[in-house]
Amino acid sequence: MKLDLERYTLHTRILWLMIIRLIVITISLLIGIAVKEVMFGKFYHYIYFYYIISLLYIILMQRARHVQFLGAFQIAIDLLAITSIVLSTDPLYQVYGNLFILVILSSNIVFPKYGGIVTALLSSLLYCGTVLYNYYYFEQVNYHASGEYAIYVTYLYITIFLGVGYLSSYVSRMLAQKTEELRQLQEQSGYVFRKINTGMLIVDENGYVVYANPAAGRIIQHDTEALLNMHWHCLLGINDTDGAVLRERLQRGQEVEVRTRDRLGNEVVLAATVSPIEHPLAMRYCTVLFRDLREQREHERRLRDTNRLGGIVELAATIAHEIRNPLTSLSGSAELLLERIHEPDSQKLLTTIIHEVDRLNAIVEDFVTFTRLRSMVFQHVDLNEVLTELAVLLYHNRRFTPNSKIIYRELNQPLPVVIDPRQFKQALLNIGLNALDAMPHGGELEVAIDPAEQAEMITITLRDTGSGIPADVQQRMFEPFFTTKENGTGIGLYVTQQIIESHHGTITVASDVGKGTLFTIKIPKTITQE
């Protein structure tokens, strides 16, 4: 790619060199004819020659594979042509020797590194040759100057040629260096503008966008090109009733919070600032910087929920401890009375008491599990054994009906993992019990392991054929205390998610109403304890 760019650049330089050469040579020779009263026939052939050779250059440029050779060929032709002009005139008293300077400058454009110096040396040698030739062998020219004058003029020309060659090469190298630095700076600044997560708009004095970086398009869900020529007030949604106040604060350089809507109609919360571009050569442009506050707001919400849940955890732990012992006493006493009392109505009442006490115990157990989330005890265990115990617990649970079926196929070899077996099993049990609740008339619950999906990750899936979960419920099902069950606490799935995340894992759900639900859990084989 770089070679193609260099070839294209050199090709363009040579093309412009051809055009400029024709213009300069034609004007120079015609002015020479008019001012110096030189016979036109003497220079007509040179003009004619240059126009013909230019046509030849055009043909060669279409076919030449080596553009550098074509550039060197043109410079060589120029040197020979100017040498011929100087030979046909007096090199000491005529100004046509200065045409060598044009070749030196043009060669330096084509070959910036050493073209000027090399061409200056060749021009010096050719000019010296024309002086010697005219001085000693050109009989028609009657020199009135001494040899010292010829040497002095030749010295001046050589000094000028070499000076122009050196200075032009130096300027070309400096220009190339600064151009490369500017290109790198543009690339670096462009890379920064493209990669930063802060949206940036450059707007003109009328407020219309002339540049937008990719982050601006990502934040407000628009194509970057579509943002151009739009008014930034409309993009950031500050044309409402509070727009005047916001604009005044922005003009003072303050960061303000604005609310706009993306292309999909979703509300986007932004923090925006406006800064003028202060440069004497720049128009009245301004930069508008804005960042997405949605993640920050979500983090703040989670922090508030965490603080709120911290208090609930402490309260739940106290209540669970205080209620658990009386419930155990009530359950035990009711079971003893049930054995001693044989009157049917009394036995029915005692059975109801025992059932309700069991339900209260289950609720208390949920809260106890909720309060234990902060303490994890990681151990090396066989995941096969954990899932086998899970299948046994689900099979013997009262929610398991005769028409239900649990499918689990053990792996042929142990699968060692580092987990908290008690809490991890509780997380899977919560999902399994919800699956059984979703299949009141029976169905299949399949538990499977896919250890080969990733080298360091294990995937566990729980798939049921139950009633499925609606989309609106899926969005909130992992929130604490959210439940759709009449007697639910809304803690089970929240506890499950927290346990999985404590194992540095992830949990996702996919469900179709009426077809079933799939939970996918991914955990690493080993845990780095912090």
Q: What's the CA gap between 73 and 81, in Å, rounded? A: 12
Count CA within 13 A, CB hemisphere, residue 444: 8
- How far is 190 from 224, CA to CA, in rounded Å? 14
**pLDDT value of position 6:** 55
Nearest in space to 431 (alpha carbons), one of 309, 518, 313: 518
Does domain 298-371 fall into CATH 1.10.3470? no
* Amino acid code (one letter) for 20: I
Query: How many Å apart are CA 169 and CA 175, to the nearest integer?
Result: 10
287: burial class by Cβ within 10 Å (0-12, 13-18, 19+)?
middle
Domain ranges within the chain, ordered by starting residue:
2-192, 197-292, 298-371, 379-524
Q: Are 18 and 70 in contact (CB under 8 A)?
A: no
Q: Are 54 and 23 in contact (CB under 8 A)?
A: no
pTM over 0.75: no
β-bridge pairing 199-203 and 457-464: unpaired
What is the chain's alpha carbon radius of gyration, rounded to the nearest angstrom?
Answer: 44
CA torsion 147→148→150→151, rounded to 10°? 120
CA dihedral (83, 87, 88, 93) positive or negative: positive
For domain 379-524, give the fold: Heat Shock Protein 90 (3.30.565)
pLDDT for 71: 72
Residue 70 DSSP one-character state? H
- How many residues comprise the chain? 530
Tell me phi and psi for residue 406, to 5 degrees. -110, 125
What span, in angstroms and rounded, lies between the C-alpha atoms of 492 and 510? 18
| Residue 383 to residue 414: CA distance in whole angstroms | 7
CA 425 to chain centroid: 40
**Per-position pLDDT tens, the chain of length 530:** 444 545 556 667 666 777 776 676 667 666 666 665 554 455 556 666 666 666 666 666 656 566 667 777 778 877 887 888 787 777 777 777 887 887 888 787 777 777 888 888 988 898 888 888 777 765 444 455 567 777 888 888 889 888 888 888 888 788 778 877 777 776 666 666 666 777 888 888 788 888 888 878 788 777 777 788 888 888 777 765 466 777 777 777 778 888 887 777 777 888 888 888 765 555 678 888 888 887 787 777 777 776 776 666 666 666 666 676 777 777 777 777 777 777 887 777 778 887 777 777 766 766 666 665 556 788 899 998 999 888 888 888 888 888 889 988 877 888 888 998 888 988 898 899 888 988 888 899 999 987 665 567 889 999 999 888 888 888 888 887 777 776 666 777 888 888 898 888 899 999 888 889 999 999 988 765 54
Fold type of domain 197-292: Beta-Lactamase (3.30.450)
Angstrom distance (rounded) from CA 424 to CA 403: 27
Cα separation, 158 vs 272, in Å, equals 64
DSSP letter for 231, please.
Answer: B
Q: What's the CA gap between 491 and 487, in Å, rounded?
A: 12
